[in-house]
Structure 1
Amino acid sequence: MRNRRTALRLGAALTFGFGAGAASAQTVASQDADLIKRGEYLATAGDCVACHTAPGGKPFAGNYVLNTPIGKIRTPNLTPDKETGLGNWSADDFYRAFHEGITKDGSYLYPAFPFAWYTKVTRADADAIFAYLKSLPAVHEPRKDSEIPFPFNIRTALITWRTAFFTAGEFQPDPQASAEVNRGGYLVEGLGHCGMCHNANKIVGNSGLAGKLGGGVIDGWYAPNITPDDHTGIGAWSDDQVVTYLKTGAAPGNLPGVAAGPMRQTIEESLSKMTDADLKAMVAYLRTQKAKESYKSKDLQAFNAAGAPGAATYLSYCSSCHKPDGKGVEGAIPALAGNTSVQAKGPETVIRVILGGLSAQNGYAPMPAIGAGMTDQEVADVTDYVRNAWGNTAPVIGERGIVATARKATETMLAGSAPCAEIAQLEIAKAIAESGAPQKLKGLAQEDFIPVINTLLPPIKAAVPDAKGDDIVNGLTTAFCQAGRNDPAYEKLAWHAVIGSFSSIVYSQMKNPEVRASKDGAMPTP
């Protein structure tokens, strides 16, 4: 779940006359505000907004579709609307759902709602989350029907799952562990519900299976091993690297590369807004877990990188940025050689990034959706290559159709498989509009990318001097998508290549504004 709130009912007793009553009211208001603020932080730690906000919908109004092994489940409205949300719920109702997985009407909740983790949250924290949710603007948003086939649509059948896998109970601190480790355990095992994605073996919603935190597939992405294993986990990372990664999605030294997919969303909406003390506590707790090998290098299939078909594909599509030796460009292009995320047990995340690209983040250049122009076999070959070249070791792809399945599920603006986004930062959207970009980017020939971008960047940067370079790059890329996506001039070109080239040039000109357009308008190397 991803949100919070509670209404405190405080009586007003005028024992000492009007003045005392006014002071009491102020105290009550202050207590309410403090409770709501604490609930907001806790709901952020639980990343409630991610699952309870549909694309283009109002925050916490629900109808986000969760793709689960038993079907598509649409999430409920958590705003205080009385007809469609939590308006008629009490704090007791909310705690029962949070702690036991039983809704207000007494029916069982599907374990897609992570109550198997949230049961560990204290009553005081659950009340604070409820208080926060009750303070939100009410949104009238009826919940749409889920798409769950028989017999899984019979909620009473969930008693079997609950009996086998679920035990209610708040987090119990380890008396032998430090306060920091216990705080981290409370967050990792409770609100953070990290095992929901990172457990190796999952039966929907079970938080206690073997393979705990050893990595696993979630919604077509691979959530890596986060145990202290040196090769496939975080054992080779320093504490500072892990904390920085959790806070920003990247880490010093290029060791883990950059976050993508659901992890990037979790960082943006949740982890980046948590205190450094809580992030350090989570890392301290992870360090206490038993190291698990996702796979043993000696058991891997022999792989001759030099003669692999993916080598030629890599040189053609990838080496200009990531370099022939896979070391990338420090601070601009993540290294693939030695990258622990690249060497995860599952290839899903590498495949999805190749197919969908990545927007700019943490000072790193955007990655074009190069896989949109490859065949499925080329994507599979180059995935195996980067996961096993330059000293990397990882299992080769054994599942036929994995790339085709990933391609169908990959919907991004850079790949041309999703609508153009909206610019998230209002001040940047305003600066881009005032720069004349919507008009100047229409009908833009590729050889004019650099000169036009160079006329747009100075006024935009002057209008928002404190804006992150990443946000300006992504904002201008979005503006270009809106201006050119349906332009007949690009009909004979691969749109993913056009927008990828534009985005990369914006990044280059942000970093190196002195670069001028070449005669053929070729994309400069960041």
Structure 2
Amino acid sequence: MQRRLVLASGLLAGTILAGPVAAQDSQDPVERGKYLVTMGDCAACHTAAGGKYLAGNYALNMPFGVIMTPNLTPDKETGLGDYTYEDFEKSFRGGYSKHVGYLYPAFPFGWYTKVTDEDTKAIWAYLQSIPAVNEKRKDNQIPFPFNVRTALVTWRTAFFTQERFKPDPNASAEVNRGGYLVEGLGHCAMCHNENKLVGNSSFAGRFGGGVIDGWYAPNITPDGHQGIGAWTDEQVVTYLKTGTAPGDRPGVAAGPMRQTIMESLSKVKEEDLKAMVAYLRTVPAKQTYKAKDLAAFDTSDAPGASTYLTYCSSCHQPDGKGIEGAVPALAGNTSVQSKGPETVLRVIYGGLAAQSGLAPMVAIGQQMTDVEVKNVTDYIRNAWGNKAPVLTGTEASDARAATQTMLSGTAPCAEIEQEKLKAAFQKIGLQDSLKGLKQQDFVPTLARLVPQIKSEQTGVTDDDIVNGLTTAFCKVGRDDPQYGNPSWPAVIGTFSNVAYSQVKNPEKQAANVPAAIPSATTPPK
């Protein structure tokens, strides 16, 4: 727990007002602005898949429709090239655009209003320095009456107050810096508040967890069961930086949080992450559901128990404890026990790429019925001492319809972003080696290829190699009819796990990995 320090008011003002500016080493406004744009994770919403950096046209799914994000590059025709700083400041901290008028609260101006003048100017300086991209913004898909922007005045009157961050005179410099980052550029409540439509108001269920774009952003208050109360500061910081936590904190970041970590938090200085955690420790603990109100759940007689043993136990183990260093535990997993089941469902249906040294997860739900997925979700959320609400409606079928990933076969193959890795693949003729590959030849072929890839000194991580191999296989194999049995998600899942086994433990030759996954995930060797 972060201890609060009472400072003399004059010293506090000097220390805290310098805090946000000192979050980066360089005094050059462009360099500082780059750090702040990274802290705000602007790329997540303003860079479309396969598009140019910050050129917009990312489709942002909101409860009231789909918003196409604007171009932030300095292009004079389609971006911010005709903006003055004053125009930008009105949009960034006031939610009003010179081109379209009032902005929807999908843009976190309700949080950015707290950013200092100095940091806002640095962000503007950086945005003016990036390459201009001529990318016209596509039309929003928002039905009447939500498409009437003047109606946003009602929301603003009720929920938006334009004000800068105010340091707490009774808190330490670290806590106040963390508050500035969490409540401002970090806009953590944008996802982790319970009610997203009312923005950052006191009615929003502050940090108690809630649904965002079909995923569940968990409780991040200091509650010991549903929040981060049982985590050490080190574990939370490590999770924010890598997507996994050391020690007894099972789980792995997925969905929007994984993207936030990769594009933003992993690049944030550790002292800023520590400050954010220190501030979150001061937030009142909150429970989004009470354990005493949960329905009785008999795991010994639950239909999901047999489903779990069939499809999940080979990796996550019958006791839910996983495999250390390879497969995260489900027992005691805070995310698994969140109020909403959305993240669990999306992972079951969509799988997970290799990350943080962990094995990729097969999109096993593609081989299961929605009833089986519902039952196994209820089981893992209430077995081994876990406690969470059971599914009561169409959550399972809704999640299946919303899940679009490469591993599930419901989204296009990904792209390999590491240029040196792509060059290595081309040099060894990877595409030709994988094309038409028989499932029984996955092991010997990868046993031959992986050492060649590693010898190229690409500078990438093992995760990158595994995911790159999986992407390359997707591109040459997705339409190959030989992979229709048992199913494409099972085949690409098997390939991905064999690749993981060869990359992590090549000496074992992945000898026990089957050629396909007919009914269950393959444990990494």
TM-score, shorter chain, exceeding 0.5? yes
> TM-score normalized by structure 2?
0.92
Q: Structure 1: state its 5+ residue gaps.
A: 1-30
From 453, 456, 464, give the equivalent of 1:463.
456
TM-superposed deviation, 1:439: 0.5
State whether residues 198 and 204 of structure 2, in contact with CA within 8 Å, keep that contact through their aligned partners in structure 1: no
State whether residues 461 and 467 of structure 1, in contact with CA within 8 Å, keep that contact through their aligned partners in structure 2: no
The CA distance in 2 between the partners of 1:525 and 1:129, in whole Å, is 44
From 278, 287, 293, give the equivalent of 1:293.
287
Task: Specify whether residues 428 and 105 from structure 1 end up closer, same or farther in structure 2 by C-alpha distance, changes over 3 A only.
Answer: closer
Q: Does 1:484 align with 2:485?
A: no
TM-superposed deviation, 1:492: 3.5
Q: Which residue of 1 aligns with 2:115?
A: 121
State whether residues 447 and 519 of structure 1, in contact with CA within 8 Å, keep that contact through their aligned partners in structure 2: no
The CA distance in 1 between the partners of 2:454 and 2:508, in whole Å, is 17
The CA distance in 2 between the partners of 1:181 and 1:92, in whole Å, is 31
From 44, 50, 75, give the equivalent of 1:50.
44
Q: Which residue of 1 aligns with 2:210?
A: 216
* 1:171-320 alignment, distance < 5 Å: 171-320=165-314
Give 2:358's aligned amino acid. Answer: Y
TM-superposed deviation, 1:210: 4.3
From 376, 395, 400, give the equivalent of 2:389.
395
SS at match of 1:38: helix
Give 2:41's aligned amino acid. Answer: D
Residue-pair matches, total: 495
- How large is the Cα RMSD of the aligned pairs? 1.6
TM-superposed deviation, 1:483: 1.3
Q: Structure 2: state its 5+ residue gaps.
A: 1-24, 517-521
State whether residues 315 and 523 of structure 2, in contact with CA within 8 Å, keep that contact through their aligned partners in structure 1: no
Q: Which residue of 2 aligns with 1:411?
A: 404
Task: Specify whether residues 353 and 254 from structure 1 end up closer, same or farther in structure 2 by C-alpha distance, changes over 3 A only.
Answer: farther
State whether residues 112 and 204 of structure 1, in contact with CA within 8 Å, keep that contact through their aligned partners in structure 2: no
- Per-residue CA deviations over 1:273-319 (Å, capped at 9, x if unaligned) read 00000000000000000000121211110001111010111001000
SS at match of 1:463: coil
Task: Specify whether residues 32 and 395 from structure 1 end up closer, same or farther in structure 2 by C-alpha distance, changes over 3 A only.
Answer: closer
Task: Specify whether residues 276 and 519 from structure 1 end up closer, same or farther in structure 2 by C-alpha distance, changes over 3 A only.
Answer: closer
TM-superposed deviation, 1:325: 0.4
TM-superposed deviation, 1:428: 1.2
SS at match of 2:331: coil
Q: Which residue of 2 aligns with 1:475?
A: 468
From 497, 501, 514, give the equivalent of 1:508.
501
From 432, 445, 450, give the equivalent of 1:439.
432
The CA distance in 2 between the partners of 1:209 and 1:33, in whole Å, is 38
TM-superposed deviation, 1:520: 6.2
TM-superposed deviation, 1:57: 1.1
The CA distance in 2 between the partners of 1:228 and 1:247, in whole Å, is 19
- Per-residue CA deviations over 1:411-460 (Å, capped at 9, x if unaligned) read 10000001111112111111122122101111111111000000100110
From 149, 154, 162, give the equivalent of 2:156.
162
The CA distance in 2 between the partners of 1:206 and 1:277, in whole Å, is 25
* 1:52-91 alignment, distance < 5 Å: 52-91=46-85
TM-superposed deviation, 1:113: 0.6
Give 2:283's aligned amino acid. Answer: Q
The CA distance in 1 between the partners of 2:513 and 2:41, in whole Å, is 49
TM-superposed deviation, 1:525: 3.7
The CA distance in 1 between the partners of 2:268 and 2:74, in whole Å, is 25
TM-superposed deviation, 1:201: 2.4
State whether residues 74 and 131 of structure 2, in contact with CA within 8 Å, keep that contact through their aligned partners in structure 1: yes
The CA distance in 1 between the partners of 2:50 and 2:460, in whole Å, is 24
Q: Which residue of 2 aligns with 1:369?
A: 363
From 80, 88, 95, give the equivalent of 1:101.
95
Give 2:503's aligned amino acid. Answer: M
The CA distance in 1 between the partners of 2:458 and 2:90, in whole Å, is 48
Out of 98-107 and 412-421, give the one that drifted further. Answer: 98-107
Task: Specify whether residues 124 and 445 from structure 1 end up closer, same or farther in structure 2 by C-alpha distance, changes over 3 A only.
Answer: same
The CA distance in 1 between the partners of 2:81 and 2:366, in whole Å, is 46
The CA distance in 1 between the partners of 2:331 and 2:190, in whole Å, is 29
Give 1:311's aligned amino acid. Answer: A
State whether residues 424 and 458 of structure 2, in contact with CA within 8 Å, keep that contact through their aligned partners in structure 1: no
TM-superposed deviation, 1:519: 10
SS at match of 1:253: coil
State whether residues 254 and 335 of structure 1, in contact with CA within 8 Å, keep that contact through their aligned partners in structure 2: no
SS at match of 1:233: coil
The CA distance in 2 between the partners of 1:384 and 1:88, in whole Å, is 53
> TM-score normalized by structure 1?
0.92
The CA distance in 2 between the partners of 1:223 and 1:498, in whole Å, is 31
The CA distance in 2 between the partners of 1:310 and 1:192, in whole Å, is 38
TM-superposed deviation, 1:383: 0.4
Q: Which residue of 1 aligns with 2:421?
A: 428
The CA distance in 1 between the partners of 2:513 and 2:284, in whole Å, is 58
Q: Does 1:340 align with 2:334?
A: yes
- Per-residue CA deviations over 1:14-63 (Å, capped at 9, x if unaligned) read xxxxxxxxxxxxxxxxx998110000000000000110111221111111
From 122, 129, 134, give the equivalent of 1:135.
129
Task: Specify whether residues 199 and 524 from structure 1 end up closer, same or farther in structure 2 by C-alpha distance, changes over 3 A only.
Answer: closer
Q: Which has the larger radius of gyration?
A: 1
The CA distance in 2 between the partners of 1:121 and 1:477, in whole Å, is 41
The CA distance in 2 between the partners of 1:225 and 1:375, in whole Å, is 29
Give 1:217's aligned amino acid. Answer: V
The CA distance in 1 between the partners of 2:158 and 2:144, in whole Å, is 21
The CA distance in 1 between the partners of 2:458 and 2:391, in whole Å, is 46
TM-superposed deviation, 1:204: 4.7
State whether residues 314 and 523 of structure 2, in contact with CA within 8 Å, keep that contact through their aligned partners in structure 1: no
Task: Specify whether residues 254 and 361 from structure 1 end up closer, same or farther in structure 2 by C-alpha distance, changes over 3 A only.
Answer: farther
The CA distance in 2 between the partners of 1:252 and 1:311, in whole Å, is 28
- Per-residue CA deviations over 1:175-195 (Å, capped at 9, x if unaligned) read 111110000000100001100
SS at match of 1:281: helix
Q: Quick one: percent identity of the two aligned structures?
A: 66
Q: Which residue of 2 aligns with 1:147?
A: 141
The CA distance in 1 between the partners of 2:361 and 2:199, in whole Å, is 34
